[in-house]
A and B are shown apart, each in its own frame.
Chain A
Amino acid sequence: AQTVTQSQPEMSVQEAETVTLSCTYDTSESDYYLFWYKQPPSRQMILVIRQEAYKQQNATENRFSVNFQKAAKSFSLKISDSQLGDAAMYFCAYRSYNTDKLIFGTGTRLQVFP
C-alpha cells in the first residue's frame, strides 16, 4: 500500500522569504501523480500544484515549484516570495495512475510572519 509522509507538522517563514515543505512517499508503482493541496482557515481544499511521475521536469506554478526526486521518492514544495495569504495547512497527496483515490499526508501548517 502507498503511504505519504510529511515530517514537518509546522513551519514558519517571514513575508517575502522562501520556504520549502517536505514530502516523501512510498510506492512500488512507476506511474503516478503527486499533488500539493492548500487548506486555508476556510477549510476549502485548493490544488496548488501537481506533478506527473513520468515527467522529469519539475512543475512550477507562479511562486510555487516542486523538487521531484523520483528515485528518492521525495516531493518537496518551494514557496518563493511568501505572502501572508500563503498561511495555511499544506497537504501532499499521491494518486496511482490506475485509480482515482488520493492518499494524503498528515499536513504541514505554514505560518507567515510580516
Chain B
Amino acid sequence: NAGVTQTPKFRVLKTGQSMTLLCAQDMNHEYMYWYRQDPGMGLRLIHYSVGEGTTAKGEVPDGYNVSRLKKQNFLLGLESAAPSQTSVYFCASSPPGQSSYEQYFGPGTRLTVT
C-alpha cells in the first residue's frame, strides 16, 4: 500500500514552459487535493476534486488546471510556468463524508521556475 505518491519529486522549468504533476493514490479515496507550500505562508489549496470527473477551485487556482479522469489519479497542469509558481506542491486524498477528517499527503514536488 503506497498511499499517496507524486511524480516527479523535483523539476526545474523555464518561464513559459508547461508541465503536469501526477498524483496517485491507492486507498480508493473519493476526494483529492492539490496544495502549494511557500515559505512563511503554510499550505494553500489550489484545486480539489470530490470524485472522478469533477474538479473545483480552491484558494489560489490561477495559472493551474487539473483533471481527474480516473479515481486514483489527480493531475495538476501548468500551461505557461511563471517564477511565481516556484513552490513545493503537495497532493492529498481523503475518503468522503463527515468521517473523513484526515487527509493523507504525498511527499511533495519541489518546482523551480527560472
Contact = CB atoms under 8 A, between A and B. Distances in A.
Interface of A: 4, 9, 33, 35, 42-45, 47, 50, 52, 91, 95, 97, 100-102, 104-107
B57 to A, nearest CB: 11
Given A42-B107, A44-B107, A45-B105, A100 B100 contact: yes
A102 B107 contact: no
Contacts of B94: 100
Contacts of B90: 45
Nearest to A34: B101
Contacts of A102: 33, 43, 45, 92, 103
Contacts of B41: 106
30 contacts: A33-B101, A35-B101, A35-B102, A42-B107, A43-B88, A43-B108, A44-B105, A44-B108, A45-B92, A47-B102, A50-B102, A52-B101, A91-B43, A97-B98, A100-B31, A100-B33, A100-B48, A100-B100, A100-B103, A101-B33, A102-B33, A102-B43, A102-B92, A104-B42, A104-B43, A104-B44, A105-B42, A106-B41, A106-B42, A107-B42
B82 interface: no
A47 B31 CA distance: 17
- Which range contains the number of B residues in contact with the other chain? 20 to 34
Interface in B20-50: 31, 33, 40-45, 48, 50
Interface of B: 31, 33, 40-45, 48, 50, 58, 88, 90, 92, 94, 96, 98, 100-103, 105, 107-108
B27 to A, nearest CB: 14
B42 A100 contact: no
Of listed B42, B50, B58, B88, residue having the most chain A CB within 10 A: B42
10 closest residue pairs by CB, A with B: A45-B105, A104-B42, A43-B108, A104-B43, A106-B42, A33-B101, A100-B31, A44-B107, A105-B42, A107-B42
A5 to B, nearest CB: 10
